[in-house]
Amino acid sequence: QVQLVESGGGLVQPGGSLRLSCAASGSIFSINTMGWYRQAPGKQRELVAAITSGGSTDYTDSVKGRFTISRDNAKNTVFLQMNSLKSEDTAVYYCNAAVMTAMGYRWLELWGQGTLVTVSS
């Protein structure tokens, strides 16, 4: 069974920082793009940041200069460093990855279980 497991959410004051982690586990042959999405109450899920296997990154405009996405390919893990957090960053954050399984070489799009980030004083 291939899955994504997230960690690192929590409560932080405005201006603070948090680091999210997402590890892929199971019978994995390779991982292509990994990313972070978020969904705030009453809003649609949106892409926050993505990173390819080669390290190219993309960010939504509202987090540019504040968030940094990175990955450790040897550990099948993606990170999201969030600095200068604002109340509008409050949301459930979901990890996403395009994974090729080692059994059957099938491509799967996987989602993590979600981790809540609350920015409030």
Q: What is the pLDDT of residue 63?
A: 98
Question: What element of type H or E holds 59?
Answer: strand 57-59
- In the chain, which residues have pLDDT < 50? none
Per-position DSSP letters for 6-35, written without gaps between them: EE--EEE-TT--EEEEEEEESSEEEEEEEE
| pLDDT at res. 51 | 98
pLDDT attached to residue 23 = 97
